[in-house]
């Protein structure tokens, strides 16, 4: 999953930090993006930022400031009218870009887990692997089982989503996204619909992912997460990126 896999944990963290600090390889480049919903309302105003490979960026700001809109533009769930977004070298807003293929490469985790209620957990994990990536059923099941183990849910594969707690369902949603071997993960308030006692079990999975070098853009109000693993924090207000700061500059 990561080019630093052969290194020890500490060496890996240092190598990752060096790569991010140099910011040589950008995974997500957002340049001067404007987005209107209908003719009258501008939800994003000249937004420019970038996320380096392996970097973890937290996006925060008041309700309605455009956080969800921004990350939905990154994997083309929302179209935008001007500017440019480049994802791993591919221009998102190029009519020639194969959007379903591009979206399959970016993991997205929402506030409401959006699992298929009529499918068992293992089936939820296998579906896109088989239909989109063309993996064999056995291969998809093996990958899913490994990921369920990783998020601490290996004994729940045969249950239906309604039989799991909110925190467990969100961990399934993260495992489902990881099953696609994403190049980056986008999170939109993944813990805000959870009861307080379930927040940490989801954040722990996200912290592990960040430490393993996953490129992440995370809309969250969890400043504990930001202080632990974010490299940068972006603040949005009324559709604008009003601050884009290295965590160290924020005094975390
Ligand atoms: N589909 C839509 N059609 C019209 N307006 C929309 C749509 N989605 C969002 N908006 C508006 O765009 C603005 C930004 O919305 P967005 O959901 O990106 O904000 P947010 O920062 O994620 O807010 P929250 O913290 O409440 O999730 C808001 O004023 C919202 O009402
Ligand atoms: Mg939102």
- CB 66 near ligand 1, within 6 Å: yes
Distance 79 CA to ligand 1 centre (A): 14
pLDDT tens column, 71-130: 999 999 999 999 999 999 999 999 999 999 999 999 999 999 899 999 999 999 999 999
pLDDT tens column, 223-245: 889 888 899 999 999 999 999 98
pLDDT tens column, 176-186: 999 999 999 99
- CB 65 near ligand 1, within 6 Å: yes
Distance 68 CA to ligand 1 centre (A): 7
pLDDT tens column, 20-61: 666 668 899 999 999 999 888 999 999 999 999 999 999 999
Residue whose entry in the numeric block shows the structure tokens 């093996």: 142
Residues 6+ positions from 209 with CB-CB distance below 8 Å: 174, 178, 185, 216
Average confidence score pLDDT of the chain: 91
Among candidates 236, 214, 250, which has minimal Cα distance to 51? 214
- CB 129 near ligand 1, within 6 Å: no
Looking at the predicted structure, is the pLDDT value of residue 13 above 70?
Answer: no
């Amino acid at each position: 999953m990561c080019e630093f896999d052969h290194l020890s944990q500490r060496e890996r963290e240092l190598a990752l930090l060096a790569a991010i600090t140099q910011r040589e390889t950008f995974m997500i480049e957002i340049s001067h993006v404007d987005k209107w919903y209908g003719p009258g309302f501008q939800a994003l105003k000249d937004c420019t930022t970038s996320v380096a490979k392996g970097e973890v960026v937290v996006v925060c700001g008041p309700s309605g400031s455009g956080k969800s809109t921004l990350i939905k533009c990154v994997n083309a769930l929302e179209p935008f009218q001007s500017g440019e977004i480049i994802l791993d070298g591919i221009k998102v807003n190029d009519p020639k870009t194969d959007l379903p293929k591009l979206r399959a490469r970016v993991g997205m985790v929402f506030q409401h887990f959006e699992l298929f209620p009529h499918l068992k957990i293992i089936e939820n994990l296998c579906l896109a692997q088989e239909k989109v990536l063309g993996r064999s059923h056995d291969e998809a099941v093996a990958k899913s089982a490994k990921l369920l183990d990783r998020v601490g849910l290996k004994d729940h594969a045969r249950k239906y989503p309604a039989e799991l707690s909110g925190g467990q369902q969100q961990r399934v949603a993260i495992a489902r996204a990881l099953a696609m071997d994403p190049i980056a993960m986008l999170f939109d308030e993944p813990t805000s619909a959870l009861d307080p006692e379930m927040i940490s079990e989801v954040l722990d999975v996200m912290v592990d992912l960040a430490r393993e070098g996953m490129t992440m853009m995370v809309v969250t109000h969890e400043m504990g997460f930001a202080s632990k693993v974010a490299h940068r924090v972006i603040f949005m207000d009324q559709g604008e990126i009003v601050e884009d700061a290295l965590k160290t500059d924020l005094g975390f």
